[in-house]
């Protein structure tokens, strides 16, 4: 039995999957877990173990394509004034589970910073290398 909740949801072709495509699906979080009305998760059908770190490029493209279309519909159909895309990848990211998933969170008029789905703390980690040199190489 597959221990991945998302893989199990996809395998059962659950009615919770309201948007089903060949490579990606979209569904709502569990009740009470949504950050805003319309909050949607977009996941690839193919399992990953480290999110964006090991997902095939084609799967990332399909997930982002579907996430973009969900975001556009939130703006035109739900009255959102902005959208936040959230992803955590890798064991130290605070992710909830391994399967790549992108949260597409609509923002509405009157949403304050307290509802902004973004980390509010700052890392105290000190680098011993120049990040520009590492990341641009």
Catalytically active residues are: 101
The Cβ of residue 133 has, within 10 Å, a number of other Cβ atoms equal to 8
* CA-to-CA dists, residue 34 to 41, 47, 60, 97, angstroms: 10, 23, 23, 16
Q: How many residues does the chain have?
A: 137
Q: With 0-12 CB in 10 A as exposed, 13-18 as middle and 19+ as buried, what is 65? A: middle
β-strand 40-44 against 82-86: which pairing, if any? Answer: unpaired
**Which pair of tokens denotes residue 120?**
């509010």
């Amino acid at each position: 039995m597959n221990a991945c909740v998302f893989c199990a949801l996809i395998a059962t072709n659950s009615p919770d999957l309201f948007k089903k495509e060949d490579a990606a699906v979209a569904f709502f979080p569990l009740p009470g877990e949504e950050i805003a009305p319309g909050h949607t998760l977009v996941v690839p059908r193919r399992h990953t173990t480290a999110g964006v770190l090991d997902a095939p490029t084609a799967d990332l493209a399909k997930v982002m394509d579907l996430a973009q279309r969900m975001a556009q519909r939130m703006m035109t159909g739900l009255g959102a004034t902005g959208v936040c895309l959230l992803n955590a990848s890798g064991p130290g990211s605070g992710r909830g589970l391994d399967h790549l998933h992108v949260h597409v969170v609509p923002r509405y008029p009157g949403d304050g910073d307290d509802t902004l789905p973004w980390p509010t703390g700052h890392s105290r980690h000190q680098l011993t290398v120049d990040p520009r040199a590492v990341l641009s190489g």
